[in-house]
Structure 1
Amino acid sequence: MKRDSLSNWFKSGAPWVWLNAGAVSIAVIMTVGLLAVIAVRGFGHFWPADVLEARYTVPGQPAKVLAGEQVEAEQVPRARLAAAGLPVNVEGGEFMTRELLKVGNRELYGADFSWVVGEWLGDTHRPAELMVLERRDWGNFYGYLLEVRENGQPVAQGDAAWGELQGRLHRVDALYDQLQRVQKTDIGRVNHGLERLRLESRRLALQGKLDDAAQAELDAERDGWTAQYQDLENRLAELNREFDRDSLTVRTADGQEQEIRLGKIVRAYRPNAMSLPQKFAFYFAKLWEFVSDEPREANTEGGVFPAIFGTVMMTLIMAIIVTPFGVLAAIYLREYARQGPLTRIIRIAVNNLAGVPAIVYGVFGLGFFVYVLGGSLDRLFFPEAAPAPTFGTPGLLWASLTLAILAVPVVIVATEEGLARIPRSLREGSLALGATKAETLWKVVLPMASPAMMTGLILAVARAAGEVAPLMLVGVVKLAPSLPLDGNYPYLHLDQKIMHLGFHIYDVGFQSPNVEAARPLVYATALLLVLVIALLNLSAVFIRNHLREKYKALDH
């Protein structure tokens, strides 16, 4: 009886339902767990950790004072430390504690991080006056504030120096923003105008139209740009004088003193003296800097906004390119092509294209789009720029086209499946009412198949936005000097190189000279890439669901 009940239970399909439910649950748990680990390891980096000061005594050597943040600690065998050359008594316990401290002060100690033996640390405490200076170069500085100076003369010392420092840092931040605006926006606009005049002069010369009147007109416009450039140079020199006016004298935990210019400091804070609300405010300020600022320190500090912008811009251009091509190809294969051996071969080829390694598309993009197509465009439309390439070099357009070629099979297959699900009776009803085949396709079939098209676009975005290998060949770089979208004509510069979150992860994780500093940023950037892709996909899902509800009545 029990055997029959068990047999009936298996025949009912219930075990397979539970098996599938369990598999889906495990997949969801693993995904959420992975994202949680990435979030904790990445976004935990921005929390203002306490800074300890301790006396470090290595047996047989003079004691020295260390200050820094405790990054991690681990238990290691004594024999391993002894093998590394440390004076460890191997007859003690089996394990000792090894701690990684972020000691900063790279110009003094040579490295930002240092491994120490925990048992040799003594007199550990966390002074409230111990400060952290986050700098534009050379990483963090850990030490004590002695005095603030203006043009080399002391203006505040002791307890009053900290408040004076914060006020002057706000002034320096405002000056830094003005400097960036003059250098990147104003001078960039003038340089763009002068370069445009140079190319116009060369173009007229190549065409034999550079007469005295044209030359005089160009010279007059050039004089105007040159006068603007001179004014901006004077403004820049004045801002630099103001920017370099203030400095501060600091002392490290081991007693070394040095002077640091305020222009090199991003922020100064005392984490040991901060309350919990102050730490939360600092944390969210750092998060905002991460998503809105430019990178610095070989991409191991600052933000990733250029990479976010490049990723989103490239993905949007890819979607604009791939959607019409994929939809048109699917319409032809499903609605117009004669269903025979050739059509089946084309479908097999399209399906196989989805399995081609991504780097192959990158090589194709470099060889065809950049060298052949881009070089031809330069010879036809930009001869005045020769020998410098305009489109004959990797850039935003070629990166987007390469991703479009990579993703177009997904859109074709999804659109074809959507077209195949449209009932034949709807087509025949439209034709019976006098509509042409094109009108039936445009007004009946395509609207009903639009959710499937959006599904193809979602899958294309999900695959293309995270690709790295092909982009390294066709337009993505470690650090782009400017965004491809600005106020200079033609505003969107498709020939410019861009940054990308995926390549940024690769560069920070595997090419950074400061591995320990880069590690948490790899996690944070990875989670940010997942969030960007999810946001793009959710936007497409929202549009798809709206279209599905709109045309649901026609399905019945």
Structure 2
Amino acid sequence: MRISFSEWTRSGSPWVWLNAGAVAISVIMVIGLLGLIAVRGLGHFWPADVLQATYSHAGQESVLVGELVESEMVPAAQLRDSGIEVPEGVDHMQRDLFKVGNRDVTGADFVWAIDDHVTARSYPETLFVAEREEWGNLYGYLRSIKQNGELVGQYDGYDAGPEAAALWDELQRRIERARDLHAQIESIQKGEIGAINYEIERLRLKERSLELKNVSDPAPYADIEARRAELNTEYEALQGELLELNQAMNRDSFTAEVANGSTVEVQLSKVVRAFQPNAMGLFDKIGHYMAKIWEFVADDPREANTEGGIFPAIYGTVLMVILMSVMVTPFGVVAAVYLREYAKQGFLTRVIRIAVNNLAGVPSIVYGVFGLGFFVYFLGGHIDDLFFPEAKPSPTFGTGGLMWASLTLALLTVPVVIVATEEGLSRIPRAVREGSLALGATKAETLWKVVLPMASPAIMTGVILAIARAAGEVAPLMLVGVVKLAPSLPLDMNYPYLHLDQKFMHLGFHIYDVGFQSPNVEAARPLVYATALLLVVVIALLNFSAIAIRNHLREKYKALEM
């Protein structure tokens, strides 16, 4: 039996297929976007082979050493305008972007080269890469190792052999020693000395507080001075230990021949790692790749956030989202319970609901301005006047910090929690409430022991939506507490452990900073992709955790709904 087009349309089948096609396209686009971010971001950590070639430009030849980053086709007219000779009849030519490093020698990390002008390509096994704390990568040939200025080993050739291998093994041993000493120094500086400095500052504030209160009794001042003397003694001892460790760490250096033929000497204390990518096998490269991924996730940033890791940003993002969830959930649930269970359902209640729904559409930067004006300047300023007068004129809560950022995002996401909770409360059958009341429970007991547990999956849905929105917000955070680089984590072992007044790093702001504020755009670009992928992963993990809790609650109270 044939069905006419009008009957087929009225049956709704076209709209089913249209919706299915739209969902399929959306899924493909999301997967494609995540795939692009993953390839561009994670590919940055793979130890690519290093090319050595001859580059002819403007009638001169030079040695080119570096990693091939990308290639593109360029119109011949554009190249002619740049003074590059292009053969007649050629419309486009390929140009390659090479990461050549050695920024302290040449002044630039990256160079563009016409592909046809790059000749005599080779991949020498002895060509090595040294990742440094400053000035980016060093590319060259290892020439010698020195200890306290004295020559330990030397090799002047370019071919792999026993002599070159022995010198390379010695370099690796000394780099490992320097990194161990660096870890000890960092532990003392951030741990023991950091705790001493923090306590000395607390003693200063305590002494200032006594002065403001006009305390004349010398006993508390004497106690403060005695404790300060003890801390200074500990500090001096640690400084002596740091001096010895620094002298030991700065003992070794190496020299390397770079592409322009000059020799560069580098202290091993400034080297993170050194490797020969052209001599590495597949498993060596996989091990190096995993080490770089772990460094990216677990270490602090360096080189204006274009090198190292982003652990402080991950830490700050997760901690802020948790605090925001703790703040927004009770407030949103109480507001929804009042509107649904206690408020008289009239014109005023309808106006409040409309206002709540409209708040969800307010641009996030408006919340940031409100947070800066009300939370930071008004509330924070008054808190400083009342509770921290000894710290003035330096603000404590009168400046951006973790608490104000969490409160601002809680205010931004509270409409989502209110709406989701109200929807959950409205789906609970009236018979359940009446049955509880008939058994002698009060309205408050019914609400607390029956209604809210049954509505908890809807509450968690609201929290999930709030997390999804808040974790990626950047604009309001730029006004109320997030910074490019935080000296310490907002949660540590110093009393009161959770420092709500402290500024923090955030993955979203880190993406903005690296992508748009970095002085080295080419070096920062892969990290933008990698950080964006990590932000998606962090948000997904937070959401999955909340979804797991919601599903558990849904199964737990399913029997009450039947």
Matched, 1:94 2:91: yes
Q: Which of 421, 429, 437 is the matching residue for 2:435?
A: 429
Displacement, 1:83? 0.3
Tell me whether 237-246 or 52-61 shows the greater mean CA deviation. 52-61
Percent sequence identity is 66
User: What's the CA shift string for 1:269-293, capped at 9, x where partnerless?
Assistant: 0000000010011111100000000
AA in 1 matched with 2:506: H
Contact persistence 1:298–1:512 (CA under 8 A): yes
Residue 76 of structure 2 corresponds to 78
Residue 134 of structure 2 corresponds to 137
Residue 174 of structure 2 corresponds to 168
Residue 149 of structure 1 corresponds to 146
Residue 426 of structure 2 corresponds to 420
Distance 1:126 1:253 in 2: 13
AA in 2 matched with 1:102: K
Contact persistence 2:329–2:417 (CA under 8 A): yes
User: What's the CA shift string for 1:162-210, capped at 9, x where partnerless?
Assistant: 0000001111111111111111111111111111111111111111224
TM-score (norm 2): 0.97
Residue 112 of structure 2 corresponds to 115
Flag as ranges the 4+ runs of structure 1 deviating above 6 A.
none
Residue 292 of structure 1 corresponds to 298
Residue 10 of structure 1 corresponds to 9
Give the total of aligned pairs.
553
Q: Which of 197, 200, 203 is the matching residue for 2:203?
A: 197
User: What's the CA shift string for 1:462-504, capped at 9, x where partnerless?
Assistant: 0000000000000000000110111110011111100000000
Residue 265 of structure 1 corresponds to 271
Displacement, 1:122? 1.2
Distance 1:89 1:493 in 2: 62
User: What's the CA shift string for 1:295-349, capped at 9, x where partnerless?
Assistant: 1111001011000000000000000000000000000000001111111111010
Distance 2:81 2:21 in 1: 48
Distance 1:171 1:211 in 2: 53
Residue 221 of structure 1 corresponds to 227
Displacement, 1:76? 1.2
Closer, same or farther: CA 170–210 of 1 in aligned 2, 3 Å: farther
User: What's the CA shift string for 1:492-546, capped at 9, x where partnerless?
Assistant: 1111100000000000000000000000100010010000000000000000000
User: What's the CA shift string for 1:384-422, capped at 9, x where partnerless?
Assistant: 111111110100000000000000000000000000000
Displacement, 1:90? 5.0
Q: Which of 357, 361, 365 is the matching residue for 2:363?
A: 357
SS at structure 1 position matched to 2:400: coil
Residue 45 of structure 1 corresponds to 44
Displacement, 1:22? 1.4
AA in 1 matched with 2:135: W
Residue 25 of structure 2 corresponds to 26
Q: Which of 307, 316, 320 is the matching residue for 2:313?
A: 307
SS at structure 2 position matched to 1:2: coil
Q: Which of 548, 553, 556 is the matching residue for 1:547?
A: 553
Distance 1:210 1:273 in 2: 73
Contact persistence 2:400–2:480 (CA under 8 A): yes
Distance 1:89 1:262 in 2: 45
Contact persistence 1:79–1:90 (CA under 8 A): no
SS at structure 2 position matched to 1:116: strand
Contact persistence 1:201–1:210 (CA under 8 A): no
Residue 251 of structure 1 corresponds to 257
TM-score (norm 1): 0.98
Residue 278 of structure 1 corresponds to 284
Distance 1:230 1:499 in 2: 32
Residue 188 of structure 2 corresponds to 182
Q: Which of 516, 523, 526 is the matching residue for 2:529?
A: 523
Contact persistence 2:47–2:288 (CA under 8 A): yes
Contact persistence 2:143–2:255 (CA under 8 A): yes
Displacement, 1:60? 2.3
Distance 2:409 2:425 in 1: 24
Displacement, 1:253? 2.6
SS at structure 2 position matched to 1:57: strand
1:358-373 residue pairs with structure 2 within 5 A? Answer: 358-373=364-379
Distance 2:86 2:475 in 1: 49
Displacement, 1:236? 1.0
**Aligned-residue CA RMSD in angstroms?**
1.0
Distance 1:530 1:59 in 2: 46
Residue 451 of structure 1 corresponds to 457
Displacement, 1:117? 1.0
Matched, 1:395 2:393: no
Contact persistence 1:82–1:90 (CA under 8 A): no
Distance 2:169 2:64 in 1: 26
Tell me whether 454-463 or 50-59 shows the greater mean CA deviation. 50-59
Displacement, 1:97? 1.5
Distance 1:299 1:191 in 2: 26
AA in 1 matched with 2:81: A
Contact persistence 1:57–1:120 (CA under 8 A): yes
Residue 332 of structure 1 corresponds to 338
Displacement, 1:149? 0.7
User: What's the CA shift string for 1:350-382, capped at 9, x where partnerless?
Assistant: 000000000000000000000000111111111
Distance 1:374 1:403 in 2: 17
Closer, same or farther: CA 210–186 of 1 in aligned 2, 3 Å: farther
Contact persistence 2:79–2:86 (CA under 8 A): no
Distance 1:258 1:124 in 2: 24
Displacement, 1:48? 0.3
Residue 411 of structure 2 corresponds to 405
SS at structure 2 position matched to 1:374: helix
Q: Which of 200, 207, 217 is the matching residue for 2:213?
A: 207
Displacement, 1:8? 4.0
Contact persistence 1:134–1:140 (CA under 8 A): yes
Residue 322 of structure 1 corresponds to 328
Distance 2:409 2:423 in 1: 22
Residue 35 of structure 1 corresponds to 34
SS at structure 1 position matched to 2:143: strand
Give the unaligned 5+ runs of structure 2: 156-163
Residue 496 of structure 1 corresponds to 502
Displacement, 1:157? 2.2
Distance 1:199 1:77 in 2: 66
Residue 124 of structure 1 corresponds to 121
Q: Which of 239, 242, 245 is the matching residue for 1:233?
A: 239
Displacement, 1:423? 0.4
Distance 1:423 1:180 in 2: 60
